[in-house]
Amino acid sequence: MTQRVLSNLIIGGVVIGLLSLSITVFGQEAGEKVSEKLHPNLAAAQQLVESAIGKLTEAQKVNDYDMSGHAAHAKELLKQAYDEIKQAALAVNAHK
């Protein structure tokens, strides 16, 4: 095997692992999704956050994860935003 093929296999394995982790995180948060029926705008905001995290992951892949940790930090902030959106929905529910 050439060095390039081996390198691509390793990168592919890392990508698959990270995608699995991301799916697991969102899978655990499935109960944390905002109801589209009760809060369509908040649910749409959560979907946009999920999309943004996916785009950041794609950008990391394209750039061989060499982004000085900024993309990873952005993803952490987006995960916080996702949780805050859920909290906003719960706050509205509590006041109804």
For the chain, the domain total comes to: 1
Query: Above 50 in pLDDT, residue 72?
Result: yes
Separation CA 58–CA 65 (nearest Å): 10
For 19-42, what is each residue's pLDDT tens digit?
655 543 443 344 589 999 999 999
pLDDT at position 96 is 78
Q: Which helix or strand (DSSP H or E) is residue 3 part of? A: helix 3-28
* pTM assigned to the model: 0.65
Mean pLDDT along residues 2-21: 67
Residue 61 pLDDT level (bands cut at 50, 70, 90): very high
Higher pLDDT, 84 or 2: 84
Structural domain boundaries enclosing 70:
3-94
